[in-house]
Amino acid sequence: MSTRREVIKAIPAAGAAFAVAGNLILDESPARAQGAAPLKGHFHPKGKAPSKFTVEALRKARATLPFSDTRDFDENKRGLIAPMPDMKIMADAGHVAWDMERFKFIDQQEEFDSIHPSLHRISRLNNNYGLYEVIPGIYQIRGFDLSQISFVRGRTGWIVFDVAVTGEVARAAWQLFQKHRGEGLPITAVIYSHNHGDHWGGIRGIVNEADVRSGKIPIIAPRDFLRHTVEENVYAGNAMNRRLFFQYGLLLPAAPHGYVGQGLGQGVSAGAMGLIPPTRIVERDIEEFEVDGVPMVFQNTPNTEAPSEMNTWIPGMKALWMAENVNATLHNIYTLRGAPVRDPLRWSKYIGEALYRFGLQADVMFASHHWPRWGNERIQEVLRGQRDIYANMNNQVLHLASQGVTINEVHNVYTVPKGLQEKWYCRGYHGSPEHNSRGVVQRFLGFWDCNPTTLIPLSPSESAPLYVEMMGGAARIMARAQQLHDDGQYKLATEILNKLVQAEPQNQPAKELLADVFEQIGYQQENPGLRNSFLAGAYELRTGIPQGEATNSSSPDVIRAMTTELFLNFLGIRMDSRKAEGLRFTINLVTPDNGEKFVVEMANATLTNIQGFQAPNPDLTLTINRSDLEQVMAGQKTLEAQIAAGTARVQGDASLLQKLAATMVDFDPRFEILPGTKQQGTTVAHADAYQAVPRQTVAE
């Protein structure tokens, strides 16, 4: 029995446990870290021109924006020590891990008629690329990845705050820093601000694990870091990976009609991602200790931007590190890739606490994305604005919901207060008021709008034929939709075209027209995730779901971080209950090297596990060291080989492993979202695609 293919292959594809975009089918995808050759195929077609209605919508948007406030540009360029001379950073596997050259077009025009002026502005700001001084003793490498790397001078070396997404860009950042300001001193500590992958994935580019294990270099992280690093996205990992194609525009070219950045940064690097577990956990709400001789105060902020996150106050420097809780954007309450909805009120309160604990005396505030803020007045302004945007969104959306506004209406009713709209750092460059407001309703009230019609609705493919019939058939719908398109009534056009495409998935003219409509809506969006989603939808309607080899970029680091319980939980998700009808058995699992014991039970077509117990009369007992189980989980050895070698022992009915394996399903990372796109899909390898891959995401 090949358990890698059957039972043990339950590990979520491509490190989905870390919101890493894995199992992708892109040229220069994260899988290139595993040495896979790029796929070959045709390129994304050029986008169509913006309509006169889109041009006018963007003109009106420009007139409402506070362009007289240029402070961000002044702060963004302040402290530049050295630009990065190399526009491309190569991955160890031989491909390009990071390419800033493809974003040069952003600075070549003052305006684009296919890019929202506010989105163009943040993309210009994110074109910074080099080494910056925050204050003497604190430096940042910016523009090398979705997130920044910060260096703080310790007594004997450099304390690193966050390490970007992949090792190659982290190493390049360290080399640039050493050349200009590093003084030849070593790294003496690393701080992971939170559990998202763009803040720990580059660790192996700058730190040797032996130095961590020996205690020479401590790695500090907030409480529950490892659990949330693995758990936040593992259970729905394959679905999240697929949805990333839309939120992050993975197949869109970097161009005025395509991808123009991700708001938090220009994109995500495509090198090798690693994880070295933290050696010191900040457990208390407020915890104070020295890091390489520097007194620091850590503020745990769980369930804000990430389920495990912390701010840091450096009193001797009057410097406040706000992790990803405060950046130059409205962040996600609900993230389009999918994740548990965040708590905006708690988020707001933690910012308020940071303001009164530290912000009233801070001289500089820096974070894991964007640029620092200097001066106490400016710091307090930004903290208050960010505090208020999350509190307002929570309170006012619930205010509207309490008056009957539903999840299907709130995005058209809720508006950000004018005073907050005029603050650039409250604009929707990652989260948007539209999808965040719906997220608040989802958090408190769920998906149902309380209309019985929508409680147990037909699937779209079942209901759409009735609509098409009653509208007079495809020809009449196409004619009316074309008229709506030509009149600039794009959302109305989607209402009827979507019904037609759902009813007739092979109707390519309908899909082409829906793609044209999606494209114009995308051009009008300020938020990158909304823009990317509409443009990605247009892409797939025209081209189909890209086909090709589905690669697996799970690393041994990812596997080691995954608890045995998480692994067993995910087996229960991968199991197809229809294949398990009539099966009933109990397995005792024992891992002697770490003292774990589990009961794994199959009953009622459901697989469950409970840690710390053993069944009195199991059908099978499997004994294997956790270290050996990791080799099986990583695909380095089969369970069959482990049993033959004696490193795994079985007592009882060993055929149960095969029966369990037969119930498992390998998830397809290319499942259909838009009707009729699966069958027409072609192998695609866009040269720009890899840069947009969120590691999570990089699941921000």
Residue 7 pLDDT exceeds 50: no
User: Is residue 402 domain-resident?
Assistant: no
pLDDT tens-digit profile of 170-200?
999 999 999 999 999 999 999 999 999 999 9
The b-or-e profile of 31-68 (16+ CB within 10 A means b, else e) is bbbeebebbebeebeebeebbebbeebbeebeeebeee
pLDDT tens-digit profile of 566-591?
889 888 988 999 999 999 999 999 99
Cα 4 versus chain centre, distance: 27
Q: Average of pLDDT values for 53-58?
A: 97
Contact 397/355 with Cβ under 8 angstroms?
A: no
User: Is residue 302 domain-resident?
Assistant: no
- pLDDT for position 547: 67
User: Is residue 494 domain-resident?
Assistant: yes
Q: For all residues of the chain together, what is the average pLDDT? A: 88
Task: Give the chain's domain count.
Answer: 1
Structure tokens at 536: 């990605």
User: Is residue 292 domain-resident?
Assistant: no
Q: Average of pLDDT values for 223-249?
A: 83
Task: Write the DSSP assignment of 362-401 as a string of letters.
Answer: -SEEE-SSS--EESHHHHHHHHHHHHHHHHHHHHHHHHHH
Q: Helices 490-503 & 508-523, crossing angle to 10 degrees?
A: 150
Confidence of residue 19 (pLDDT cuts 50, 70, 90): very low
Residue 524, domain extent: 460-543
Query: Considering only 20-29, 117-126, 443-452, which range has the smallest mean pLDDT?
Result: 20-29
- pLDDT for position 34: 30
User: Is residue 520 domain-resident?
Assistant: yes
Residue 146 pLDDT exceeds 70: yes
Q: Measure the CA–CA gap between 120 and 424, rounded to whole angstroms.
A: 13
User: Residue for token digits 């006012």?
Assistant: 396
User: Residue for token digits 């270099």?
Assistant: 217
- pLDDT for position 46: 60
pLDDT tens-digit profile of 341-354?
999 999 999 999 99
- pLDDT for position 307: 94
Residue 433 pLDDT exceeds 60: yes
Burial category of 672 from C-beta neighbours within 10 Å (exposed 0-12, middle 13-18, buried 19 and up): middle
Q: Measure the CA–CA gap between 679 and 75, rounded to whole angstroms.
A: 50
User: Is residue 485 domain-resident?
Assistant: yes
Query: Considering only 52-66, 590-604, 665-679, which range has the smallest mean pLDDT?
Result: 665-679
Residue 242 pLDDT exceeds 60: yes
Q: Average of pLDDT values for 227-232?
A: 82
Contact 291/191 with Cβ under 8 angstroms?
A: yes
Residue 523 pLDDT exceeds 80: yes
pLDDT tens-digit profile of 78-132?
999 999 999 999 999 999 999 999 999 999 999 999 999 999 999 999 999 999 9
Residue 685 pLDDT exceeds 50: no
Q: Average of pLDDT values for 689-700?
A: 43
Confidence of residue 679 (pLDDT cuts 50, 70, 90): low
Q: Average of pLDDT values for 383-410?
A: 95
User: Is residue 501 domain-resident?
Assistant: yes
User: Is residue 162 domain-resident?
Assistant: no
Partners of 373 in the beta sheet? 365
**% residues pLDDT > 90 (the chain):** 76
Residue 339 pLDDT exceeds 70: yes
Residue 42 pLDDT exceeds 50: no
- pLDDT for position 699: 59
Confidence of residue 203 (pLDDT cuts 50, 70, 90): very high
Residue 688 pLDDT exceeds 80: no
Contact 387/342 with Cβ under 8 angstroms?
A: no
Confidence of residue 251 (pLDDT cuts 50, 70, 90): confident
- pLDDT for position 383: 98
User: Around Cβ 117, how many Cβ atoms within 10 Å?
Assistant: 18
CATH of the domain at 513: 1.25.40.880
Residue 503 pLDDT exceeds 90: yes
Q: Average of pLDDT values for 600-615?
A: 94
Q: Average of pLDDT values for 463-484?
A: 97
- pLDDT for position 681: 53
Give the global pTM: 0.86
Q: Average of pLDDT values for 63-75?
A: 97
User: Residue for token digits 């790695």?
Assistant: 219
The more confidently predicted of residues 47 and 482 is 482
Residue 696 pLDDT exceeds 70: no
